[in-house]
């Protein structure tokens, strides 16, 4: 291991040594771009940007695959073995910083090494929890056929906690780089751009172990094949949150003549029972049906009501408004998800009403209501 420590002299001399190879530098800055973009889309982008957020997650996983392989077969200071330090060296490094005489390390110092390992671990966990959440809540991706809504929802909470932890780590990392650069009289940021560091006066240039390109490529390809192949295989399993529901021609014709046909999973059984019992005053209209037809439609609706599905919409729409138990747009969940939409949007053509789910949700008929299929009318398209 060549990452030797020495007390840093104020005068570092002019001799340079290439510490960070080009692949490591590209990885570092590309990871920064993807992580910041993922955080931005996760916290601030609209729901229909979810697919972009997911693809950024795939990109981060690809970078982690590279970093793991490069950590074993890359050049000297990219290898994990070059920055695994004993507790004794870590303590000595901290004491030296406090004393204002920082120790010199050609590669990562002990605190920087801990941050590297922590970031890799958190990025791996945040990616895994995100994909589990994507499968359980959205019923999409490799985990859709293996994870239920409750598990996906729990993974989402972990994902959010890790996201905030990641932000804290990034801020701490930036502070650490600035502080280390100041006390060591050298720019760590510049070193990660051009790859070079100064050799302190009186210290010999270390011999560097070269990268092992063939093993690295084989490792990256092997891990990539396992992850991509496994994801494709898992994605072929039908989503666990949905059932193969038959089409009811009676329901479609009798109810579809007056309004859009609502998916049975959008209300719980008790709400459908109330709705079918009050057809003579159906939202201000007389929607009377003969007993046989009404019973057939009620049986269909209750057989495939929200209780029978494990989708995001069905799980959240189980809770209805006590005063308006048959009105989907009165449920707490519907109000929460549509709170930021201007009321004028709902009045504009071709939406015309809050009840017109199909105007914005391209997959409303299937009951999926995937975020990626949301298309909200733009303000410039509004008509009065």
Q: For position 2, what pLDDT does the model report?
A: 43
Look up tokens 């970093």; give the residue: 67
The tens digit of pLDDT for each residue in 248-281 reads: 999 999 998 888 999 999 999 999 999 999 999 9
Q: For position 22, what pLDDT does the model report?
A: 94
- Over residues 326-354, the mean pLDDT reads 91
Q: For position 378, what pLDDT does the model report?
A: 60
Q: For position 384, what pLDDT does the model report?
A: 37
Peptide bond into 350 cis (omega under 30): yes
Q: For position 380, what pLDDT does the model report?
A: 42
Q: Which residues pair with 6 in a beta bridge?
A: 104
Q: Which residues pair with 16 in a beta bridge?
A: 198
pTM, rounded to two decimals = 0.87
- pLDDT exceeds 80 at position 6: no
To the nearest 10°, the Cα dihedral for 30, 33, 35, 41? -140
- Residue 170: both structure tokens together: 């990034």
Task: State whether the Cα torsion 41-42-44-49 is positive or negative.
Answer: positive
Dist. CA 105–CA 116, nearest whole Å: 15
What phi and psi values does residue 197 have, to the nearest 5 degrees?
-135, 155
* Nearest Cα residue to 369 out of 354, 377, 351, 357: 357
- pLDDT exceeds 80 at position 33: yes
Dist. CA 120–CA 31, nearest whole Å: 11
Using only the alpha carbons of the chain, give its radius of gyration. 29
* Nearest Cα residue to 127 out of 172, 78, 68: 68
Q: Which of 44-48, 85-89, 346-350, 374-378 has the lowest mean pLDDT?
A: 374-378
Q: For position 17, what pLDDT does the model report?
A: 86
Residue 347 carries which DSSP code?
Answer: H
The residues of the chain that CATH labels 1.20.950.20 are 5-235
- pLDDT exceeds 60 at position 379: no
3-class SS of residue 57:
helix
Helix axes 87-98, 110-137, angle to 10 degrees: 110
The tens digit of pLDDT for each residue in 132-166 reads: 999 999 999 999 999 999 999 999 999 999 999 99
What phi and psi values does residue 67 have, to the nearest 5 degrees?
-65, -35
What CATH number is given for 5-235 in this structure?
Answer: 1.20.950.20
Tell me the three-class secondary structure of 152-179, residue by residue. HHHHHHHHHHHHHHHHHHHHHHHHHHHH
Dist. CA 354–CA 39, nearest whole Å: 31
- Beta-strand relationship, 5-7 and 103-105: antiparallel
Q: For position 147, what pLDDT does the model report?
A: 96
Cβ distance 8 to 23 under 8 Å?
no
Looking at the chain, list the stretches that DSSP marks H as alpha helix, in order from N- to C-terminal side. Answer: 22-43, 50-73, 87-98, 110-137, 149-184, 188-194, 213-235, 249-256, 269-277, 291-303, 312-316, 332-338, 343-347
3-class SS of residue 319:
coil
Q: For position 14, what pLDDT does the model report?
A: 60
- Over residues 292-315, the mean pLDDT reads 96
- pLDDT exceeds 80 at position 200: no
How many C-beta atoms surround the C-beta of residue 295 within 10 A? 12
- Residue 113: both structure tokens together: 């090494």
What phi and psi values does residue 120 have, to the nearest 5 degrees?
-60, -45
- pLDDT exceeds 80 at position 29: yes
Look up tokens 């939409």; give the residue: 341
């Amino acid at each position: 291991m060549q990452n030797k420590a020495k007390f840093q002299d104020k005068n570092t001399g002019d001799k340079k040594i290439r510490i960070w190879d080009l692949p490591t530098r590209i990885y570092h800055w590309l990871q920064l771009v993807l992580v910041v973009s993922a955080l931005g889309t996760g916290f601030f982008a609209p729901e229909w940007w979810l697919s972009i957020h997911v693809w950024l997650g795939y990109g981060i996983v690809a970078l982690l695959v590279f970093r793991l392989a490069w950590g074993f077969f890359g050049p000297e200071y990219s290898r994990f073995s070059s920055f695994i330090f004993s507790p004794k060296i870590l303590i000595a490094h901290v004491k030296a910083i406090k004393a204002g005489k920082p120790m010199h390390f050609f590669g990562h110092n002990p605190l920087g090494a801990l941050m590297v390992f922590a970031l890799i671990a958190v990025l791996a966990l945040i990616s895994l929890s995100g994909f589990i959440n994507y499968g359980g809540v959205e019923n999409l991706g490799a985990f859709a056929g293996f994870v239920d809504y409750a598990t996906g929802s729990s993974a989402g909470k972990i994902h959010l906690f890790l996201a905030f932890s990641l932000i804290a780590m990034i801020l701490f990392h930036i502070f650490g780089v600035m502080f280390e650069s100041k006390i060591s009289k050298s720019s760590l940021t510049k070193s990660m751009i051009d790859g070079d560091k100064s050799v302190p006066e009186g210290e010999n240039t270390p011999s560097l172990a070269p990268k092992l390109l063939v093993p690295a490529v084989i490792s990256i390809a092997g891990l990539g094949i396992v992850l991509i192949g496994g994801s494709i295989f898992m994605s072929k399993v039908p989503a666990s949150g949905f059932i193969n529901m038959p089409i009811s021609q009676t329901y479609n014709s009798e109810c579809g003549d007056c309004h859009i046909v609502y998916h049975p999973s959008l209300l719980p059984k008790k709400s459908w029972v109330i709705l079918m019992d009050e057809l003579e005053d159906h939202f201000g209209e007389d929607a009377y049906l003969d007993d046989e037809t009404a019973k057939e439609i009620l049986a269909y609706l209750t057989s495939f009501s929200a209780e029978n599905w494990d989708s995001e919409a069905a799980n959240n729409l189980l809770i209805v408004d006590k005063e308006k138990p048959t009105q989907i747009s009165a449920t707490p969940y519907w109000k929460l998800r549509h709170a930021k939409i201007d009321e004028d949007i709902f009045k504009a053509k071709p939406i015309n009403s809050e009840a017109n789910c199909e105007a914005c949700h391209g997959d409303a008929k299937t009951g999926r209501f995937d975020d990626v299929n949301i298309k909200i009318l733009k303000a410039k398209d509004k008509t009065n």
